[in-house]
Structure 1
């Protein structure tokens, strides 16, 4: 894809706007799609998007639309940047609009995103094997600083995997043409599903700081002030359960501290300690990030429902115990009035119901869902 590519970006939040701006500045044709015309109006009025930080410049976006079929038609790559709990809203329309030669790119996929979309596309269209790739973390560490401005504090050196796995080389080549040299690769999407750093830390940070969030509207630094030694110990307990699950399924992964260092969010010295408190306190790139203003936020909706819940669901097929993950899920459900165990991503929704645990990883590699 050495030529200018046509990229449909689905979702106009932090990542979607950062990606749309960056790709436009790199000379690609970008179509930015979101469900809300109200969200697009200030971007139209500003004549496009402006990025500051790791990406600098103003970009006139080729197409701003609320029509997913219009955005997708003829695109080379469809980048899905919506929070994973929003996937059920766009998956049926995506399945009907996409063609077999188009690449679907989950940016990021969190835990089970590609598996869910693959299962939904097969259900809606009756065909499998659609090339889908996902990232381990968002391509751009970013926050909206205004209705049409985005601050990019990091270009993430993320890992990319493909579903089915046989499409990995093609997927990497096509994404590398958009953002050269930024991503390495993994052998299966399950490796990325079990390397979801947000699901390791955000539920504990949100639940343990619930009253502080409610009292201040999130006016504190969540990765620093909101991640003291006690909160860090909860995060470490979640990580031990995640590592045990990965080992049981035969999936290679790394401890939380190492993953955060690879993503560029802490120092090598802090990562070597293996202590989450030190790792987060040393995170210069995330030092100033404030907590969400409310508990009604993707840090719980996404990182519990589409983070902890799929891990708990996978663990239920093994002898791995997940008491900390389960406790956090139950507390989040009570706090937000949402039954995450029911509404979140389960084995059935990933197309893995009834699969013996020793066959899960290979079945995902083969895409025999």
Structure 2
């Protein structure tokens, strides 16, 4: 049941606040981590995230913190909603806190973000058995004008998921589909690697 899953959202920018608020509105247990103290202070004053636009409501958060260890403790799904350039820093910070059974979901992963993230976890000494999944794009067209407020202009109707190791993809997809039914499994490349390369431009996505 989605009410039993604890989601730790890593990143308090446009996408992170939008996702945290949306999940909370859907009845999920949500935590939010951001390294900027002012952002967290403002969100804690409100108790959550106000969502406007295509979706409207108030998403009450279980926790908003600048302590990544606090955000990850007991979480089932760790969703990294940051630019790809921040993935290395996030992986390094997460490495000593992740435990067996948790799932990391890069949303989005950029190209092969899961490979980079897992490698950095290993190099940072993480020995936990952690599958790392990634989506091909952010599901939200969104913006946040200030902490605690996010406007979701649209929620995309499709998304692809790939996971390392590949045999965890179906399991993680089933979990994500409870709240994001539009996500589907990506095609597998030769060698059973769960990667589907896509270029997004004005003419649309293309498999390579």
| Aligned counterparts of 1:96 and 1:162: Cα–Cα separation in 2 | 21
Q: Post-superposition shift, 1:125? A: 2.7
Is residue 177 of structure 2 the alignment partner of residue 176 of structure 1? yes
| Aligned counterparts of 1:121 and 1:141: Cα–Cα separation in 2 | 30
CA shift digits 1:161-187 (9 cap, x unpaired): 1111111111101111232x1211113
Q: Post-superposition shift, 1:19? A: 0.6
CA RMSD of aligned residues (A): 1.9
Comparing both structures, which one devotes a greater share of its residues to strand?
A: 2
| Aligned counterparts of 2:146 and 2:89: Cα–Cα separation in 1 | 26
Partner of 2:98: 98
Structure 2 alignment gaps of length 5 or more? none
Does the aligned pair in 2 maintain the 1:77–1:102 contact within 8 Å? Answer: yes
Q: Residues 38 and 73 (structure 1 numbering): CA distance in 2 closer, same or farther, change over 3 Å?
A: same
Radius of gyration: which is bigger? Answer: 1
Is residue 198 of structure 2 the alignment partner of residue 195 of structure 1? yes
Q: Residues 5 and 77 (structure 1 numbering): CA distance in 2 closer, same or farther, change over 3 Å?
A: same
TM-score (norm 2): 0.88
Does the aligned pair in 1 maintain the 2:159–2:183 contact within 8 Å? Answer: yes
Select the structure with the greater relative contact order (CA < 8 A; seq sep ≥ 6): 2
| Aligned counterparts of 1:126 and 1:76: Cα–Cα separation in 2 | 17
Is residue 34 of structure 2 the alignment partner of residue 29 of structure 1? no
CA shift digits 1:303-350 (9 cap, x unpaired): xxxxxxxxxxxxxxxxxxxxxxxxxxxxxxxxxxxxxxxxxxxxxxxx
| Aligned counterparts of 1:2 and 1:144: Cα–Cα separation in 2 | 26
CA shift digits 1:46-101 (9 cap, x unpaired): 33211112221012211010011100010010000011111222212212111120
Is residue 89 of structure 2 the alignment partner of residue 89 of structure 1? yes
| Aligned counterparts of 1:151 and 1:76: Cα–Cα separation in 2 | 26
Partner of 2:167: 166
Secondary structure in structure 1 of the residue aligned to 2:130: coil
Q: Residues 44 and 86 (structure 1 numbering): CA distance in 2 closer, same or farther, change over 3 Å?
A: same
Does the aligned pair in 1 maintain the 2:49–2:60 contact within 8 Å? Answer: yes
TM-score (norm 1): 0.51
Does the aligned pair in 2 maintain the 1:131–1:163 contact within 8 Å? Answer: yes
Partner of 1:257: 203
Secondary structure in structure 2 of the residue aligned to 1:178: coil
Does the aligned pair in 1 maintain the 2:99–2:129 contact within 8 Å? Answer: no
Is residue 52 of structure 2 the alignment partner of residue 69 of structure 1? no
- Residues 1-369 of structure 1 aligned to structure 2 (within 5 Å): 1-125=1-125, 127=127, 130-156=130-156, 157-179=158-180, 181-186=181-186, 187=188, 188-191=193-196, 194-197=197-200, 257-259=203-205
CA shift digits 1:181-225 (9 cap, x unpaired): 12111135531xx3252xxx5xxxxxxxxxxxxxxxxxxxxxxxx
Q: Post-superposition shift, 1:42? A: 2.0
